[in-house]
Structures are given as C-alpha cells and as structure tokens.
Amino acid sequence: MNNSTNSKVVIAHRGASGYLPEHTMESKAMAYAMHPDYIEQDLVLSKDDIPIVIHDIYLDDVTNVATIFPERKREDGRYYVIDFTFDELQLLQVTERFQPSTGEQFYPNRFPKNKGNFRLHSLQQEIELIQGLNYSTGKSIGIYPEIKNPEFHHKNGKDIARITLDILSFYGYKTKEDNCILQCFDAKELERIRKELQSELFLVQLIEFPEETKQLQHFASYADGIGPWYKQILDKKENNKWLFTNLVEKAHELNLVVHPYTFRHDQLDEFSTFEEMMSVFFFEANIDGAFTDFPDKVVDFLRK
C-alpha cells in the first residue's frame, strides 16, 4: 500500500476524465500514462451480474442508449444499467457527459460530445488493462473501485459488494498491502464489507452530507480513510487566507487518511488558479491525496 500519511497520492477520477469521456478504456490508458498513484473505477452491475465501470446506475447521460434501445426506459423515463446484459451494453457508444433532457454537454470545453468510438467495459477488463500496463512498464499503479448505490442493487436482488470483492480477490487484491482502495458512500454497506464480508482491503468512507463529518469516530471503527467533498474542508477566507474546518485534523487523530473529491482545472470556484487550489489543500489543509479529472496537473504540481 503506497499510501502513508507523509506521501501525497493522486487519484485519476474516472480516468483522465478532463480530457476523454469518463470511465472509458481510453481515458484509463491516458490516465495511466500520467503516473497517478491510483485509477478510479465506479461500479454498477449489469443484468447478468457483471460490474460495469460507469458513474451512475443510469445510462442516458453518457451513452446513446435512447437511440439504440428507445423502448427500454423505465416509467421514470430513465435507462438503467441493471436492465441490460453485458452484451447489450457493448452495443452502446459512450460519450462526454450530457444533460439527457437538453443534450447539453456538461463541461463544454472537454472532449466533443458524440465524437470518437468509446464503449463500456467491465471491472475485470479494466483490471487486466492496469495490471498489464504495470507488467509491461514496471510501474505499480493501483486501483480505487467504488461500489455505487448498493441499496438499489439489494432492492433489485443483487449483492454488488460480494461480487466485487470476489473479483478483486481473484485478481490478487485482498489486503491493505495490495494496491487497491475500496470506497463507498453507503456507510452501512462499507461497514458490512469490513465486518460481515470480512474484507481486509484498505477502505475509504466517502462523505456527501455535512452531518456525516461528525461520525468520524464511527467511520474509524471499520474504515482506513475518508473521502469528503473538498468544500467540507474549507471554512472561510479571512485577510486573503483560507481557514479550515477541523475535518482533516480530526481524521488524522483517528488515523484516517483524507482523500477529498474532485479537483477540476475547469471548475475552480473559489480559486483563481489550479495551482493555488492545490497549494491550499495539500500544504495548508494537509490532505493526503486528491481525486482529480486532471491527474497530470496534480502530479506536476506535487513534483514541483
């Protein structure tokens, strides 16, 4: 596990998603070449129980599913990964993320929508790509899978955690020493992964809501780190200097690493430059790692 509190890690968020459509093999290969420490895989099960690398349980904001299978939408008008077999999913083209209602591209300056020939793939295929590259380059880049919406999967009679752990184990990811961090927003499920499913992997509890930042003590009983939204670390600006919440400090006292999400060069919000943003978080707030759509820029920053 190349993740100790004194080495800062870079996580390629959905691959090199600032440059190529998220979670495509091309995006992962490009991310790999940028030398991050980890590459992220969001996971949702297909109808035939294959973990698909895609950010949501829906297909209609990153693929042409509405054109290829117009009749397969549910009553809510959405298309669900879980309603399609792996073979059917292979027929879809993946594109840059867009608003299904308007067709509007989410990040207008990224890879042009509906260009290129990108496909969905499985967790197994991506692991084989990353392990193959580790073998051919002599590098050791890790994986950082996230189990998406386990509750939805349970309601549909599927145990995504168990299926994912079996695959990870098959490919040699079993303990904290192996180059894998497993993450989930669902605290109940992540605790189940540690206690009931007895996983010995490095676990990171993702945090979405402000009230969850008060549960660090509980998270530390089963997890090894937290993944908060980066704004949960910022407090306010005084005399041109950022003040921080006590989240990182508290986490470190409990031996939890802190890997906030998501740093984007094209979405700076409170910051004037990406370098300023990185500097504030890595060196003033003292985070341990960062999820970013632009892994090359964070790697360059830390190198300097």
What residues are annotated to the active site?
A: 13, 55
> How many angstroms separate the CA atoms of 11 and 36, rounded?
6
Neighbours of 198 (CB within 10 A): 8
Measured N-to-C along each axis, helices 160-170 and 123-137 cross at an angle, to the nearest 10 degrees, of 30
As given in the structure block, the two tokens for residue 63 are 């693929």
As a whole number of angstroms, the distance between CA 259 and CA 44 comes to 22
Strands annotated E in the chain:
9-12, 38-45, 51-53, 142-147, 181-184, 202-207, 225-228, 234-238, 241-244, 257-258, 289-292
164 cis-preceded (ω within 30 degrees of 0): no
d(CA 51, CA 175): 21
Strands 181-184 vs 225-228: parallel, antiparallel or unpaired: unpaired
